[in-house]
Amino acid sequence: VGKLLSELIRDSGSQSSGTEQGRWQAELGQVAMELIA
């Protein structure tokens, strides 16, 4: 799961603007915490 998340974050970083990337990473982090919990 961690590897998949890091790949998603890296891919989103190359596609989106800074603000959009920050929001996307925040949502990914929230999903990751739910998966781990």
Domain region containing 20: 2-36
The pLDDT, as a whole number, for residue 36 is 83
CB-based contact 21:12 (threshold 8 Å): yes
The pLDDT, as a whole number, for residue 5 is 75
Between CA 33 and CA 14 the distance in angstroms is 23
Instruction: Match 């190359």 to its residue by tokens.
Output: 14
The pLDDT, as a whole number, for residue 35 is 87
The pLDDT, as a whole number, for residue 32 is 86
The pLDDT, as a whole number, for residue 4 is 78
DSSP letter at 37 equals -
Domain count, the chain: 1
Confidence of residue 10 (pLDDT cuts 50, 70, 90): confident
Confidence of residue 22 (pLDDT cuts 50, 70, 90): confident
Distance in angstroms between the alpha carbons of the first and the last residue of the chain: 13
